[in-house]
Amino acid sequence: MTLRLPVFLLALLMFFAPLASADELEAQANELIKRALASSLSYELTESLTTEIGPRLAGSAAEARARAWAVRNFESLGFDKIHIETFDMKGWERGQISIQVGAPYTQPLMGTALGKSVGTPVGGITAPVVRFADYAALLAADDDALTGKIAFIDGGMVRTQDGSGYGAAGLRRRVGAYEAAKRGAIGLLIRSVGTSHHRNPHTGGTSYRKGTPPIPAAALSNPDADQLARLMVLKPDLSIHFTQTSRFIGTVQSGNVIAEIPGSEFPDEVVLIAAHLDSWDNSPGVQDDGVGVGIVMAAAKLIQDFGQPKRTIRVVLFGAEEVGLYGAFEYVRAHQAAGDFDQIMMVTESDFGAGRVWRMDTGISKNDEAKADRIQLVLAPLGVTKGKRTASGGSDVSALTRAGAPAISLVQNGWNYFDLHHTPDDTLDKIDRSDVAQNTAVYAAYTWMVANIEGGFHPPEK
């Protein structure tokens, strides 16, 4: 006994030595990482949402069921101030589509309506197709180059780890309909904005502008776009019969679901972590963005079980992101009107699939960079490197940063993201449990440190 006691004390000292020497906040964050890596809660929430609700189109009955799902789960996890902030929006439905190549190469092509596209007149349109190698080639065309024609905007998409190929490739989808209509086109087909080789077309929002007629717009799958390009070499004046019944359906309701862990010392300083609850209607929306919902809910729950943060942690599950960040803009509007928008001390959103977080970008005051570096060092063993200083927070959160909120982006590996993005293939079998746990660990440790770090964070200098 007399011999064993010093040995026991020595062991005890050795065990606590690293804890005592490291900063308390870092030690706490490391403990959260350990717990998150051992937890499957984020995966279970993702599975539950995407299985029980399935596709969750903005403004649909399914999106309303997803809000009820979120409230129910926030309640059972023991969150505070759970509520829904609803808003009205213009509803849209996809309808049916048929794209038929005319003689002598008569055959169908696989396509899908772009989100918020109008339909064709009843009976469809039949017109010659004009192909543009990419969006820039369309911009170079004359004002009346497409009178009475269907425009086909081809072009690739560069596969990248950080998703940077999406911005340029996405132009043909986002504003192609307007540029084609301006030149007289009566319909638009685009090559899918995606890196897949399967025959699932990638949907995604398009837009119109006042002064030009809204024209029906659809995406072809990548192999079908290849096929059309080959057919047009054989017959440059090839015509297509295009029928689409997508349409707007009047006013519908969407909403943001909000839950909190109240802060102990600075309850009016809010650390906001977000994801979006809606998805497109053509898949259960697992990587976009069911898994983001699972990650931020589980990270907050791990924190709640760990201890009360000094600042308030607010989880926001935005509605109607895919159709134009409606939920995020509504959040800014409502909270600016209420006078509490400036309580947001940091915003971060998980909306880039289930790949591992590998980089931390900041959009904060220069004076706070050392604090961000401190957090990044804790995340480094999880594979997170120091990134750019120009973070806008991505998707929904960009609406909040434009309104002045500081942001940090936890950038995920998106190498495979655009193989599945906005296609029927965005299903649960495509995500990896250990990758989801890594994301949750990053979010838990990061959010805890932001919510407790001395001095907090401030918006970037203008």
Determine the straight-line distance between the first and last CA of the chain, rounded to whole angstroms.
67
Binding to Zn ion by CB under 5 A, coded x per residue (else -) over 36-55, reads --------------------
278 counts as binding Zn ion under rule CB under 5 A: no
Decide whether 289 or 361 has the Cβ nearer to Zn ion: 289
86, burial (CB in 10 Å: exposed 0-12, middle 13-18, buried 19+): middle
Binding to Zn ion by CB under 5 A, coded x per residue (else -) over 305-344, reads ----------------------------------------
Decide whether 69 or 352 has the Cβ nearer to Zn ion: 352
Min dist CB 145 to Zn ion, Å, is: 35
Q: Among all chains, which residue has been given the structure tokens 């990270």?
A: 299
Considering only 62-70, 287-295, 296-304, 369-377, which stretch makes contact with Zn ion by CB under 5 A? 287-295
Considering only 5-13, 133-141, 150-158, 282-290, which stretch makes contact with Zn ion by CB under 5 A? 282-290
Cα separation, 199 vs 407, whole angstroms: 37
Min dist CB 273 to Zn ion, Å, is: 15
Decide whether 311 or 422 has the Cβ nearer to Zn ion: 422
Min dist CB 42 to Zn ion, Å, is: 16
Decide whether 260 or 349 has the Cβ nearer to Zn ion: 349
Residue selected from 260, 269, 278, 288 as contacting Zn ion according to rule CB under 5 A: 288
Decide whether 195 or 343 has the Cβ nearer to Zn ion: 195
Considering only 90-98, 103-111, 184-192, 285-293, which stretch makes contact with Zn ion by CB under 5 A? 285-293
- The reply to whether 321 belongs to the active site is yes
CA angle 147, 153, 158 (to 5 degrees): 165
Min dist CB 56 to Zn ion, Å, is: 11
Decide whether 39 or 112 has the Cβ nearer to Zn ion: 112
Within 10 angstroms of residue 187's Cβ, the number of other Cβ atoms is 27
In the set 179, 321, 322, 330, the catalytic residue is: 321
Residue 398 has which token pair?
Answer: 């960009």
Q: How many residues bind Zn ion (CB under 5 A)?
A: 3
Binding to Zn ion by CB under 5 A, coded x per residue (else -) over 344-373, reads -------x----------------------
Min dist CB 420 to Zn ion, Å, is: 12
Decide whether 151 or 320 has the Cβ nearer to Zn ion: 320
Min dist CB 50 to Zn ion, Å, is: 13
Min dist CB 202 to Zn ion, Å, is: 13
Decide whether 288 or 419 has the Cβ nearer to Zn ion: 288
Binding to Zn ion by CB under 5 A, coded x per residue (else -) over 58-97, reads ----------------------------------------
Strands 344-349 and 266-276: parallel
396 counts as binding Zn ion under rule CB under 5 A: no
38, burial (CB in 10 Å: exposed 0-12, middle 13-18, buried 19+): exposed
Min dist CB 292 to Zn ion, Å, is: 7
Report which of 279, 333, 353, 317 is spatially closest to residue 58, judged by C-alpha positions.
279
289 counts as binding Zn ion under rule CB under 5 A: yes
Q: Which residues are catalytic?
A: 321
Provide the binding-site residues for Zn ion, judged by CB under 5 A. Answer: 288-289, 351
